[in-house]
Amino acid sequence: MTTEQDLMLAGKLYRSGDAEIAQLRQRAQGFTRRYNATTELNTVERKKLLAEYLDVPSNDAYIETPLHLDYGFNVHLGKNFYGNYELIILDTAAVTIGDNVMIGPRVSLLTAGHPTPVDIRNSGIEYGHPITIGNNVWIGGNVVVNPGVTIGDNSVIGSGSVITKDIPANTIAVGNPCHILREISDQDREIWERQAQEYHQLIG
């Protein structure tokens, strides 16, 4: 027999108030309470908790507190992940994040969605569509990533953006709704390489 969790994981309509689904959310809430009770001095415990509830093969992710999740088991983090304060991940569907990704404060990754007709929405069924973030992506503060979005490798998302459509690789995107500002260019590299060289000279 098909369960509500089966439907949820398949990206189909499911009933979020189902007892099994509710129990999974309660488990995640227990985890976030434990995680958010840790201090910045206890990095070992934080890594242990993340590895227990999220998919973190490299075991080197670092997420500031507070962290909020729907389930946790649908979150997949690549190498060298950093999440700033008040990260919200509604992982009704998979949230897959590549290597060397930095996420600013108060960012929301929202895979959950609801039907637009009010009678169907009020019946308590909803859906989730996956979010995929490529390698080497920087997401500024207060960004909202909506269901079904893919952000390409090496992209930069400006603070306050609301992303409703895919963002191609190697671009800078900003705004509400988020749009492509420009591609990351060789000129960008030249500017930042000069500043990096200056830094290394000053620091010795």
Which residue would you say has higher pLDDT here, 203 or 160? 160
Given strand 162-163, what is the order of strands in its sheet?
Answer: 67-69, 87-90, 108-110, 144-145, 162-163
In the prediction, which pLDDT does 161 show?
Answer: 99
Based on the number of CB atoms within 10 Å of its own CB, is 30 exposed (0-12), middle (13-18) or buried (19 or more)? exposed
Report which residue type is found at 147: P
Given a contact cutoff of 8 angstroms between Cβ atoms, the answer to whether 158 and 144 are in contact is: no
Domains in the chain, CATH or no CATH each: 4-203 (2.160.10.10)
Predicted model pTM: 0.95
Q: Tell me what the pLDDT averaged over the chain comes to.
A: 97
Reported as a single tens digit per residue, the pLDDT across 74-128 is 999 999 999 999 999 999 999 999 999 999 999 999 999 999 999 999 999 999 9
Report which residue type is found at 158: G
On the question of pLDDT at 22 being above 90, the answer is yes
Cα dihedral 140, 108, 74, 32 in deg (nearest 10): 100
On the question of pLDDT at 172 being above 80, the answer is yes
The neighbour count for residue 83, using CB atoms within 10 Å, is 24
Reported as a single tens digit per residue, the pLDDT across 95-105 is 999 999 999 99
d(CA 198, CA 134): 30
* Helix, strand, coil % in the chain, rounded to nearest 5: 30, 25, 45
d(CA 122, CA 124): 5
Given a contact cutoff of 8 angstroms between Cβ atoms, the answer to whether 129 and 161 are in contact is: no
In the prediction, which pLDDT does 190 show?
Answer: 93
- Active-site annotation, residues: 114
- Helix (H) or strand (E) run with residue 107 in it: none
Tokens of 85: 């304060």
| pLDDT tier at 1, thresholds 50, 70, 90 | confident
On the question of pLDDT at 204 being above 80, the answer is no
